[in-house]
Amino acid sequence: MPSPAIVWLRLDLRLADNPSLEAAVKHGGPVIPVFIHDPQAEGHWQPGGASNWWLHHALEDLAEQFEKAGAPLVIRSGDSLAELKQLVKETGAELVTWNRRHEPLIIERDTQVKTSLRNAGVKAESFNGNLLHEPHLVKTLAGNPFQVFTPFWKNCLANLKFGIPLKAPKKLTPFDQPLKSVAVAKLGLLPKIKWDTEFPAHWEPTRAGAEKRLKDFVAAPVKHYPTNRDIPKLDGTSRLSPYLHFGQISPLEIVDAVRTAGLLGVIGGDKYVAEVGWREFSQHLIHHFPEPRTVLCARSSRNSRGRRTRSSCAPGRSVAPATRSSTPGCGSSGRPAGSTTACA
């Protein structure tokens, strides 16, 4: 039998439509799914209390899914590279797979991980599991990244196709020895002061919860999405944003559900998918312009008639991240161009 393959899970907490998991399965040996709790790697973007609450329950649910599939989820806590190397040592794994992320610090960390593992003789491969299209595929005619959403999304729709989501593997081959794993409760993700008691009445942070929300939304509310999303008293949005953030459902699964319902080409379906496109656009921006002032300075040096203006990026002046001035359904405060939030 081939050697084991380690699947390093991060913000892709699902079995379905998971390219890194599929690659590990195709390797042919035992599959070892691992989640490493490493908040220090996020730098200034470390998750807050509500996000940690969600992660706690998402991990419990993910562990159940992997248990049913036959390969227990391993949970570790600490430096990601050190923990991966230790797991390779314990298992003799010759392949480590993961799905790419595009935050600047994470790219730097992942590059270090890939280089270190390969130098140690371990095959390390990353995949696109979190975006409809990778940043290098969407460019202007001049070969540059888009900086405005409308032409970006038109280019995506005109030149790129939406694929078909991968099915979740029904059966995984487990590693033949028990591996050390930290209990989810030991990660300390839940608040000590119980301010979260009302959350379960409004949110089900599981894969099943994501699937139900998507199914219910596509069945009817999506048709009225362009208008109802702006009316707070109506349940006019899908409320899938946290599921997307933690990767409990993929953007491709959402687009495919709209497509399967025959709603692509229909105003409601197209408007909703375009909001998934806003999430896509923000990820592309943070990939190409890890420092927001880079794109702002380039665009603010000319006025609307193309004439040069006094730069707002002179030394000593601070520049706020670019925002979309009024995102329908998100309120009037706008959305940071580099954020991962979307009205989906």
Question: Range with the lowest mean pLDDT among 180-189, 256-265, 312-321?
Answer: 312-321
Residue with tokens 């953030």: 245
* Structural domain spans, the chain: 5-130, 132-168+203-344
**Residue 1: what pLDDT?**
82
Tokens matching residue 198: 């009302």
Residue type, 207: R
The tens digit of pLDDT for each residue in 54-112 reads: 999 999 999 999 999 999 999 999 999 999 999 999 999 999 999 999 999 999 999 99
Least confident of 6-15, 26-35, 111-120, 296-305: 296-305
CATH fold of 5-130 reads Rossmann fold (3.40.50)
**Bridge partner residues of 324 (DSSP):** 335
212 and 203 Cβ atoms separated by less than 8 Å: no
CA 271 – CA 132 distance, rounded (Å): 16
Q: Where are the alpha helices (DSSP H) in the chain?
A: 19-27, 49-69, 80-91, 104-119, 149-159, 199-202, 207-219, 225-228, 241-245, 251-260, 267-288, 292-300
Average pLDDT of the chain to the nearest whole number:
88
Read off the pLDDT of residues 189-226 as tens digits, 9 standing for 90 and up. Answer: 999 999 999 999 999 999 999 999 999 999 999 999 99
- Lowest-confidence pick of 107-111, 115-119, 318-322: 318-322
Q: Is the pLDDT of residue 338 over 50?
A: no
Cβ pair 252, 324 in contact under 8 A: no
Examine the pLDDT at 336 and tell me if it is beyond 90: no
pTM for this prediction: 0.85
What band does 341 get if pLDDT is binned at 50, 70 and 90? very low
pLDDT digits (tens, 9 = 90+) for 201-211: 999 999 999 99
- What confidence tier does 136 reach under pLDDT thresholds 50, 70, 90? very high
The confidence score (pLDDT) of residue 299 equals 55
CB 54 within 8 Å of CB 27:
no
**Measured distance CA(107)–CA(80) in Å, rounded:** 13
Architecture of the domain defined by 132-168+203-344: Alpha Horseshoe (1.25)
Instruction: For residues 38 and 80, give the distance between their C-alpha atoms in angstroms, rounded to a whole number.
Output: 6
The two three-digit tokens of residue 154, written as one number: 């038109």
Asked if residue 329 has pLDDT above 80, the reply is no
281-301 pLDDT, tens digit each = 999 999 999 886 555 555 554
